[in-house]
Amino acid sequence: MDMLKKFFPYSFGAKDVTALVIKIIVYIVAAAIAGVLIGILALIPIVGLLVGIVGGLIDLYALIGIVVLVLDYLKVLK
């Protein structure tokens, strides 16, 4: 649990549905902004591969963050 709080500090503390939805929207917007920047940088031939890998990791982080957020809201995580 402590390790999750280190890696996903924003995913804890949603007390009501409004806070939950706002935090999910923040994760989605952050991933979308990173996706746009990565899409622009992917046009550079050599950098494109590395940026694509980083983009996948950012999307994975956002997805896991949303899952942890929902699990914490539902009190599955102790």
d(CA 73, CA 13): 8
Summarised one tens digit per residue, pLDDT across range 18-33 is 999 999 999 999 999 9
User: Cα dist. 1→20, 25, 33, 56 in Å?
Assistant: 19, 23, 29, 24
Hey, where are the domains in the chain? 15-73
- Which pTM was predicted? 0.87
pLDDT digits (tens, 9 = 90+) for 52-72: 899 999 999 999 999 999 999
